[in-house]
Amino acid sequence: MTVPELEQRMKGWLASEYIALLFEKDGEIVAYALYREQPEEIYLRQLFVLRNRRRQGIGRETIELLRAKVWPKNKRLTIEVLIENTAAVAFWRAVGYKDYCLAMEILPGKSS
């Protein structure tokens, strides 16, 4: 996607039911979380950490802060992760998320 397309997509999420929180460290915005709260769950659509600040514990700190100070403790927390993104799968497991389901697809024009 182009930057303008990404911007439009984010504006759409923010105009609907999503909430975005920015996270700062040493006076610099280093991450954001985009989530929506539903009656029985919190769905985290995106957690983004600046590329040059990754592998410094910022993602873990962000999740810990959200769980301790922002999100209600009585709600199920859900995310979606692409299986092929093994680094992300490992991260989410490391911060406490457990495998729940596997979504599968056949793309148009693909044969078995």
Q: How far apart are the C-alpha atoms of 44 and 20, rounded to whole Å?
A: 10
Strands 19-25 and 28-37: antiparallel
Would you say 72 and 81 are in contact if contact means Cβ atoms under 8 Å apart?
no
Residue 46 corresponds to which tokens in the numbers above? 């995106």
Q: Where are the domains of the chain?
A: 3-94
Class of domain 3-94: alpha beta
Which residues, other chains included, contact 98 with Cβ-Cβ below 8 Å and sequence gap of 6+? none
Q: What is the mean pLDDT of the segment spanning 72-92? A: 95
User: What ranges make up the beta strands (E) of 1-63?
Assistant: 19-25, 28-37, 41-49
Question: Is pLDDT at 81 greater than 80 in this prediction?
Answer: yes
- pLDDT category at 112 given cuts 50, 70, 90 is low
Report percent pLDDT > 70 for the chain: 98
Q: Is residue 29's pLDDT more than 70?
A: yes
Tens digit of each residue's pLDDT (9 = 90 or more) over 33-52 = 999 999 999 999 999 999 99
> Is residue 110 over pLDDT 80?
no
